[in-house]
Amino acid sequence: MRPTSVALFFTLLICTQAFGAANENATVKYLRANVALRQAYALEPDAAPALEKALQSPLDQSDEKLIAAASEALTEFQHASALGTCDWELSVSDGPNASTSHRGAIRELVAVAGIRARLRFRDRHTKEGLQDWLAADAAARQLSTDGTITSVLISYKLEREISDVLEPELGKFSRSELDLLADGARRLPLGMTMQSAIAREKLDRNDLADVVAVANSREDAIKGLTAGVPILQANEQKAAEIIDSCGGSVESLRTCIRKQSEFYAEWNSHWSEPPARFEADYDNAFITASRDNPIVAKFTPSLSRLRWAEAYSQTRWMLLRAAIAVERDGATALSAFPDPSSGAEFTYSRQKGGFRLESQVKDNGTLLSITVQDAGAK
């Protein structure tokens, strides 16, 4: 959490306690877990980056001290991850100024749970390590349910980091442990899709339309943009340039905003297209739509990049589930876990002491894949 978000974080905790007590909302338990973690162990105000780095670094005594202190917090964390309801209750009226302190809380907790999973795998407390791993993955997915694009992207990042914890261990598990993992993976919450987050954030909630809704003059519109659009950093000159580029009037500005909404709706309806085709068609359409519309040009995230982010995440997850199944039941299990990019089976190849599964999707020029080495293999 950023230091400026601490007060908002505790306010959210207090305000959601009554709701959570009656409806078993996971958010309440996640926030309690983060409070317990910070009471038990001295962390910097924004500890998530350091904890995520520790998750990927060689284990040492500092990790053991952290986990020893975090026991109570992780118990509450596991209880939260087992609940079916996770409503972060972000206020639509707050728009881009809504508190997002919960993102830092989940990032911290997922990293700590992942560190304990690594320690437990190391010490051959595998069942307990798998419980930590499943809780961490569930929490990453539940973060996305706040309905924001950024939280969905963070959830993808957290899932990738947690998968990196599990991959080196897959060849060491017993049949019963693989059964536990496969069943737990199947039961994990789905989280929110990127398509749904775009609809929620850009269509159901239209921040730009809201900030100029009551504007009666160009000056009102300038004030509305500078106060309600954080990316402008309260720069009235930039706001004025945007309005002038739209035509100079309040109505022409509203027209630009309406056309941006229509652009979002059009391309969100194409989301099921393969990412490569989506990218090619979308990028051409964006050039056309943004040519005379600074709202589209300056305030529209790259939907093709978001489409690829989802494709990468879906492919990595299916590769992991397929690897679990192959390790447990052999290569014939691949047919139940098709490559999301093509619908075909992943490419399977034997490796020394294990096997490799490969997708047809490339991230930064490298095919997405997963390698499993049996215990003792070098």
Over the stretch 306-365, which tens digit does the pLDDT of each residue have? 999 999 999 999 999 999 999 999 999 999 999 998 889 999 999 888 999 999 999 999
For 201-267, the DSSP string reads IIIIS-HHHHHTTT--SHHHHHHHHHHH-GGGTT-HHHHHHHHHHHTSSHHHHHHHHHHHHHHHHHH
Residues 6 or more apart in contact with residue 2 via CB below 8 angstroms:
45, 46, 101, 104
Q: Which of 104, 91, 85 is nearest to 31 (CA)?
A: 104
Are 323 and 291 within one domain?
A: no
Mean pLDDT along residues 136-164: 96
Residue 344: what residue type? A
Q: Identify whether 176 is part of a domain.
A: yes
Q: Identify whether 196 is part of a domain.
A: no
Tens of pLDDT, residues 110-121: 999 999 999 999
Give me the domain span that covers residue 293: 201-301
Residue 305: what residue type? R
End residue of a domain, out of 191, 224, 240:
191
Q: Residue 263 pLDDT > 90, yes or no?
A: yes
Are 9 and 142 within one domain?
A: yes
294, HSE (Cβ side, Cα atoms, 13 Å): 13
Are 323 and 295 within one domain?
A: no
Task: Pick the range with the lowest mean pLDDT from 39-53, 167-181, 227-241, 274-288.
Answer: 227-241
Alpha-carbon gap, residue 303 to 311, rounded angstroms: 12
Would you give the distance in Å from CA 84 to the centre of its chain? 18
Query: What total of structural domains would you count in the chain?
Result: 3
Q: Identify whether 378 is part of a domain.
A: no
Are 206 and 178 within one domain?
A: no
Residue 166: pLDDT band (50, 70, 90) is very high
End residue of a domain, out of 140, 162, 191:
191
Tens of pLDDT, residues 42-51: 999 999 999 9
Contact 67, 123 (CB under 8 A): no
Are 166 and 51 within one domain?
A: yes
Are 236 and 344 within one domain?
A: no
Are 18 and 43 within one domain?
A: yes
Are 272 and 166 within one domain?
A: no
